[in-house]
C-alpha cells in the first residue's frame, strides 16, 4: 500500500506549488472516517482510496483531484456529510466528491434502472468538471485490479459494466492505456477459459519469435537515423483481449493475425511524421488498404497518428503508428493529458493543472449529457450511450468541406442531425457524392453528403428505427413528442372552449395562466395538452379558473339502457333508429352472402367462399383477394396494412374488381373511428347522422372513455365509398364530434 509521504512527494514532484497541508489533512480525515472498515479482501478499506489517489498521481493530476480521490467514498460509506467536506476542504472538492457519490435509497424497479440512473448522475457531474470522470476511472481500475476477492455473481456484474461502459468511455476520452487494461481485466473474469487459452498461445508464439521485436526496433531505428529523422521506436505485444476480439470478429486463428506486434515511432514535429513515413514506405513493401492518416483527420477524441502496415524483417507484417510526442501523450492519456499540456502546440508545459475542458472528447461528452436531458428514461439513455460508445467511425464531408465524424453504419439521417437538429428535422433527401440516394443509404469514409431540406417536412416516427446515432434518435423522438403534444393541445383547446361556453364563460389562454398553480401545470399549453390526453378534466379546469362559483349543478342521472340477448335492441328502442343485429348475415359480409353468392366481384371462382377482412371493403375501394387454401378468399382494400403479411407470397394474390349491378344494390361493411365530446345525447347525435344518411350500424365499441371525450369504433354498412364519405362529412359537421375517419385495419 502506498504510504502518505510517498503520495505527497509524488504530487510535489510534478506540482511543486501543491497544497501539501491540504493533502495531509485529506489523508488523515479519510483514514479516520473509514476507521475499521474492511474490503472484501480483508485489507483496511482506506487502502482503496489511497491506491486510487496513487493512480491519479501517476497521471500527474492536480492536488484537488488527489484530495478528492482520498475522500471519494466518505459521503457514501461513512457518516460524513457534504457540508462537512465543504467546511474542511472547500466547495470545489465538496462538489467533486458529491459527483462521485452514488444514489442511495432510490426505489428503482430493476438493477438495470439503478445502474442507468447512477450513470446519469455521474455524467451530469462530469459535464461540469472532467476530474469527476478521472477519479471514477481510477476508482474502477483499482476495483478491477482486486476483483478476485468479490463473490462470483458480483464479480460478473462489475466486469460486464466495465466492458460495456467504462472501457469504451475511456477510449472515447482518448485514454487508450486505460481502455486496454479495463478490457483485459474484464475479459479475464467474463471468459476465463478464452483468456487462459490466448495467454498460453501467446507464450508459445513469443518463444518462436524470440528477439523479433528487438530486431524490428533496431532496423527501424537504423533506417530513420540514416535518413536523418529523429525518432524513438518502441514495440509492444497486443493485449489478450484485443487479440481475442479480432480473432472473433474476423473468424481467424491466432497464427493468421498479422498485427500481434505493434510498433510506434515518436518524432519531435508534425513534418517529421511524414518524413518517417517516407522512409518506411520506401524501405519496405506496404500492405494495401492498411493506411490511415489521423493527423489530417483527427478522431473525435483528439487522437492523432499515421497508421500503416508493412512487410518488415523476417517477412513479418508490422503495424506502425507514427506520431509526435504531444500526440503520443494525448493518445495515451486523453483528456488527462491536458493537465500536462496547456497549449496543444506543445510549446508550454503547465504541470499540475486541472484538465482542459476544451478537448473534442470533452465536447462529445457534453453532447452526450445533452442527449441525457432529452431522453425519456434512464434505461433508454443508457442504451443510446452504449450505442454511441461502441461504434467505430466514418468521416464524411459537407459540400463546403466541413468534416463530420459518424459511427460506422450511419446514414444520411444521422449526417443531417450531426450538422444541426433543424437540418435533420427538415430533411427530405440527400445527395451522396453528387448522386441522389435514399436517406437510409449507409455512408462510407470520404463521402460528400448534401442534405436537401424543406420547411414543410417533419421527421416521421419511423426514422427512429433507421437512425444509428443517439443524437438523431433523440431529436426524432423529441419532434414526434412535440407533434403529438400539439395535436393533444388542439384537442384540449377545443374541449375547454366548449366547457367554458357551457358555463357561460369565455376561454382564453390568459385566464388559464392565472390558475396554473391550482392546476399543477407550468404553462397554458401544458393544461390544454393534459386535457387533450384525458389526464385533466375540463370541469376541473373551469373550477380552478373560477373557484368562487363553486361546483356546477349535478346533472340528472340518465336512465340506464339494458342490454338484452338481442344485442343493441335496448339502444335501438330508446333512439328510435334502425340497427342491424350483430351476427345477421355473418360478420364482415353483406347480408345473405353465402360463398360467392350475391357478392358482385369479378375474378372469383363461384365455388370459393368469400369473406371481407376486418374493417371491410366497399365499392369505390381498390381491392385485392388473398387466397387461403381450404378457407376461401378474403377481400382487402389495397391500402390495408394487413396485406404486408403476404408480401412474400405473391401466388396467393388474386386480381379482382367490383361488378356492381345498380338494379340489385346491397350494403357492404365498413368501420369508422369517431371522437366525440362527453355531452348529453352525443351518442344519439352520432347515430342520428348515420341513420339519416341511410347508413346501417352493426356495432359500437367505446375504445377510450375519459372525462371529456369518448373514442368510438363503429361497424356499419354502406352502399359504396361515396356513401361512406357522405356519412363522415355529416359527422364532422356536428359540434359534438371532434374527428371522424375511416378506421385502419
> Do the Cβ atoms of 172 and 361 come closer than 8 Å?
yes
Average pLDDT over residues 459-463: 85
CA distance 79 to 77: 7
Return the minimum-mean-pLDDT range out of 160-169, 542-551, 601-610: 601-610
Sign of the torsion formed by the C-alpha atoms of 292, 294, 297 and 302: positive
The pLDDT > 90 percentage for the chain reads 19
CATH number, domain 569-742, options 3.30.70.260, 3.90.550.10, 3.40.50.720, 3.30.930.10: 3.30.70.260
Q: Which pLDDT score, from 0 to 100, does residue 584 have?
A: 29
**Read out DSSP for 142-160?**
HHHHTGGGS-HHHHHHHHH
Q: Which pLDDT score, from 0 to 100, does residue 103 have?
A: 43
Give the total residue count for the chain: 745
Higher pLDDT, 590 or 26: 26
Looking at the predicted structure, is the pLDDT value of residue 108 above 90? no
Looking at the predicted structure, is the pLDDT value of residue 305 above 90? yes
CA distance 401 to 583: 68
77 is catalytic: yes
Looking at the predicted structure, is the pLDDT value of residue 298 above 80? yes
Beta bridge partners of 718: 668
Residue 588 pLDDT class (50, 70, 90 cuts): very low
Dump pLDDT digits (tens) for 473-510.
878 888 887 887 787 888 788 888 888 888 888 888 88
Which runs of E-coded beta strand occur in 468-619? 601-602, 610-612
Residue 745 pLDDT class (50, 70, 90 cuts): low
> Do the Cβ atoms of 667 and 598 come closer than 8 Å?
no
Residue 343 pLDDT class (50, 70, 90 cuts): very low
Looking at the predicted structure, is the pLDDT value of residue 373 above 60? no
For the record, the C-alpha cell of 739 comes out as 374527428
Out of 77, 114, 219, 497, which one is annotated catalytic?
Answer: 77
> Do the Cβ atoms of 65 and 96 come closer than 8 Å?
yes
Residue 736 pLDDT class (50, 70, 90 cuts): confident
Residue written as grid cell 437540418: 423
For the record, the C-alpha cell of 298 comes out as 483527427
Q: Which fold has domain 197-339?
A: Beta Polymerase; domain 2 (3.30.460)
For the record, the C-alpha cell of 515 comes out as 390558475
Q: Which pLDDT score, from 0 to 100, does residue 276 have?
A: 94
CA distance 244 to 252: 10
With both helix axes pointing from N to C terminus, report the angle between 412-419 and 470-502 in degrees, rounded to the nearest 10: 70
SS3 state at 612: strand
**Read out DSSP for 179-191?**
HHHHHHHHHHHHS
Out of 76, 84, 490, 525, which one is annotated catalytic?
Answer: 76
Average pLDDT over residues 249-264: 75
Looking at the predicted structure, is the pLDDT value of residue 561 above 50? no
Residues 6+ apart with CB under 8 A from 271: none
Residue written as grid cell 361515396: 722
Q: Which pLDDT score, from 0 to 100, does residue 101 have?
A: 75
Q: What is the pTM of this model?
A: 0.53
CATH architecture of 4-194: Orthogonal Bundle (1.10)
> Do the Cβ atoms of 15 and 64 come closer than 8 Å?
no
**DSSP letter assigned to residue 708:** S
In this chain, the answer to whether the domains covering 4-194 and 197-339 adopt an identical fold is no
Q: Which pLDDT score, from 0 to 100, does residue 68 have?
A: 93
Q: Which pLDDT score, from 0 to 100, does residue 360 have?
A: 62
Taking the domains of the chain in order of start, what are their residue ranges?
A: 4-194, 197-339, 479-549, 569-742
> Do the Cβ atoms of 47 and 75 come closer than 8 Å?
no
Residues 6+ apart with CB under 8 A from 191: 244
| Phi, psi values for residue 645, rounded to 5° | -65, -15
Looking at the predicted structure, is the pLDDT value of residue 76 above 90? no
Looking at the predicted structure, is the pLDDT value of residue 19 above 80? yes
For the record, the C-alpha cell of 381 comes out as 439513455
Looking at the predicted structure, is the pLDDT value of residue 105 above 60? no
76 is catalytic: yes
Amino acid at each position: 500500500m502506498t504510504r502518505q509521504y510517498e503520495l505527497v512527494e509524488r504530487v510535489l514532484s510534478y506540482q511543486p506549488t501543491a497544497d501539501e497541508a491540504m493533502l495531509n489533512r485529506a489523508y488523515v480525515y479519510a483514514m479516520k472516517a473509514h476507521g475499521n472498515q474492511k474490503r472484501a479482501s480483508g485489507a483496511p478499506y482506506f487502502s482503496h482510496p489511497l491506491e486510487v489517489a496513487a493512480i491519479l498521481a501517476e497521471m500527474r493530476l492536480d492536488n484537488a483531484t488527489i484530495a478528492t480521490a482520498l475522500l471519494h467514498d466518505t459521503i457514501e460509506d461513512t457518516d460524513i456529510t457534504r457540508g462537512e467536506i465543504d467546511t474542511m476542504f472547500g466547495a470545489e472538492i465538496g462538489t467533486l466528491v458529491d459527483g462521485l457519490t452514488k444514489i442511495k435509497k432510490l426505489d428503482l424497479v430493476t438493477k438495470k434502472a439503478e445502474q442507468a440512473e447512477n450513470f446519469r448522475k455521474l455524467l451530469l457531474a462530469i459535464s461540469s468538471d472532467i476530474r469527476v470522470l478521472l477519479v471514477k476511472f481510477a476508482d474502477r481500475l483499482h476495483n478491477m485490479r482486486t476483483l478476485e476477492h468479490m463473490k462470483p455473481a458480483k464479480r460478473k456484474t462489475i466486469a460486464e459494466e466495465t466492458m460495456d461502459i467504462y472501457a469504451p468511455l475511456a477510449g472515447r476520452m482518448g485514454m487508450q492505456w486505460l481502455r486496454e487494461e479495463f478490457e483485459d481485466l474484464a475479459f479475464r473474469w467474463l471468459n476465463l477459459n478464452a483468456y487462459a487459452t490466448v495467454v498460453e498461445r501467446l507464450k508459445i508464439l513469443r518463444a518462436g519469435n524470440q528477439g523479433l521485436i528487438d530486431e524490428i526496433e533496431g532496423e527501424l531505428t537504423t533506417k530513420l537515423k540514416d535518413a536523418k529523422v529523429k525518432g524513438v521506436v518502441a514495440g509492444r505485444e497486443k493485449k489478450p483481449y484485443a487479440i481475442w476480439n479480432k480473432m472473433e470478429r474476423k473468424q481467424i486463428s491466432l497464427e493468421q493475425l498479422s498485427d500481434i506486434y505493434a510498433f510506434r515511432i515518436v518524432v519531435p514535429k508534425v513534418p517529421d511524421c511524414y518524413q518517417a513515413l517516407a522512409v518506411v514506405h520506401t524501405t519496405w513493401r506496404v500492405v494495401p488498404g492498411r493506411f490511415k492518416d489521423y493527423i489530417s483527420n483527427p478522431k473525435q477524441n483528439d487522437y492523432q497518428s499515421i497508421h500503416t502496415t508493412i512487410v518488415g524483417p523476417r517477412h513479418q507484417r508490422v503495424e506502425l503508428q507514427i506520431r509526435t510526442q504531444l500526440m503520443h501523450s494525448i493518445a495515451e492519456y486523453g483528456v488527462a493529458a491536458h493537465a500536462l499540456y496547456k497549449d496543444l502546440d506543445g510549446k508550454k508545459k503547465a504541470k499540475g493543472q486541472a484538465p482542459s475542458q476544451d478537448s473534442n472528447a470533452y465536447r462529445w461528452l457534453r453532447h452526450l449529457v445533452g442527449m441525457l436531458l432529452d431522453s425519456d428514461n434512464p434505461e433508454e439513455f443508457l442504451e443510446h450511450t452504449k450505442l454511441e460508445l461502441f461504434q467505430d467511425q466514418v468521416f464524411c464531408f459537407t459540400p463546403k468541406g466541413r468534416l463530420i465524424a459518424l459511427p460506422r453504419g450511419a446514414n444520411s439521417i444521422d449526417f443531417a442531425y450531426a450538422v444541426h437538429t433543424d437540418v435533420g428535422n427538415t430533411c427530405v433527401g440527400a445527395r451522396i457524392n453528387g448522386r441522389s440516394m435514399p436517406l437510409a443509404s449507409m455512408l462510407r469514409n470520404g463521402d460528400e453528403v448534401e442534405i436537401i431540406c424543406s420547411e414543410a417536412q417533419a421527421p416521421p416516427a419511423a426514422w427512429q428505427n433507421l437512425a444509428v446515432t443517439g443524437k438523431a434518435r433523440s431529436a426524432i423522438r423529441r419532434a414526434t413528442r412535440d407533434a403529438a403534444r400539439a395535436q393533444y393541445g388542439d384537442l384540449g383547446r377545443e374541449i375547454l372552449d366548449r366547457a367554458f361556453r357551457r358555463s357561460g364563460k369565455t376561454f382564453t389562454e390568459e385566464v388559464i395562466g392565472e390558475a396554473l398553480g391550482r392546476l399543477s401545470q407550468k404553462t397554458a399549453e401544458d393544461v390544454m395538452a393534459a386535457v387533450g390526453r384525458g389526464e385533466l378534466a375540463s370541469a376541473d379546469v373551469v373550477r380552478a379558473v373560477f373557484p368562487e362559483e363553486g361546483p356546477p349543478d349535478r346533472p340528472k342521472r340518465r336512465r340506464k339502457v339494458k342490454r338484452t340477448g338481442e344485442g343493441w335492441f335496448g339502444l335501438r328502442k330508446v333512439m328510435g333508429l334502425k340497427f342491424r343485429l350483430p351476427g345477421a348475415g355473418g360478420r364482415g359480409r353483406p347480408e345473405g352472402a353465402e360463398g360467392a353468392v350475391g357478392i358482385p366481384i369479378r375474378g372469383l371462382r363461384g365455388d370459393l367462399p368469400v369473406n371481407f377482412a376486418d374493417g371491410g371493403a366497399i365499392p369505390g375501394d381498390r381491392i385485392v383477394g388473398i387466397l387461403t387454401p381450404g378457407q376461401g378468399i378474403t377481400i382487402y382494400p389495397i391500402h390495408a396494412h394487413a396485406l404486408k403479411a403476404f408480401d412474400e407470397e405473391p401466388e396467393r394474390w388474386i386480381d379482382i374488381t367490383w361488378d356492381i349491378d345498380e338494379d340489385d344494390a346491397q350494403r357492404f361493411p365498413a368501420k369508422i373511428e369517431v371522437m366525440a365530446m362527453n355531452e348529453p345525447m352525443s351518442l344519439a347525435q352520432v347515430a342520428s347522422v348515420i341513420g339519416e344518411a341511410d347508413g346501417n350500424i352493426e356495432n359500437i365499441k367505446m375504445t377510450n372513455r375519459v372525462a371529456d371525450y369518448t373514442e368510438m369504433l363503429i361497424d356499419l354498412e354502406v352502399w359504396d365509398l361515396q356513401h361512406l364519405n357522405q356519412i363522415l362529412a355529416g359527422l364532422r359537421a356536428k359540434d359534438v364530434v371532434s374527428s371522424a375517419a375511416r378506421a385502419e385495419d
